[in-house]
Amino acid sequence: MAYIAVREFYDTQYGDIRYRVGQPYPSDGIDVKPSHIDYLLSDANQQRKTFIKFVPDAETDEEVAKVFPNHIGGGKYELSNGEKVKGKEVAIEAENALKVGE
């Protein structure tokens, strides 16, 4: 099963590993209990937020990690061509334009 982080967090239960948005969860070599995955999938935690989501049919970690536009913080987004833009709507439009141009 493949999961990705939907918000940045530190997994304090498993080595204090930092996960960024779009990064596969768990990291290679980490064996996480199903109950902990359920905890991160739900909002039944101290922050009342989900931290990961299930990604169906992900064949490789590389495919899972590449979700564009990728929010990099401060209202900025990275596009699939490496360009960085400010604003979610602008990023979505720019990414769609890149896909049309392929």
> 13 and 55 in one domain?
yes
> 56 and 76 in one domain?
no
pLDDT in tens, 19-36: 998 899 998 888 999 999
Give 102's pLDDT tier (boundaries 50, 70, 90).
low
Taking the whole predicted model, whether its pTM rises above 0.95 is answered as no
Give the 3-state secondary structure of residue 75: coil
What's the pLDDT at 1? 62
> 77 and 58 in one domain?
no
> 7 and 55 in one domain?
yes
> 18 and 45 in one domain?
yes
| Residue span of the structural domain in which 46 resides | 3-62
The domain total for the chain is 2
Neighbours of 17 (CB within 10 A): 15
The alpha carbon of 74 is separated from its chain's Cα centroid by a whole number of angstroms, namely 16
> 58 and 25 in one domain?
yes
Q: Which residue has the higher pLDDT, 46 or 11?
A: 11
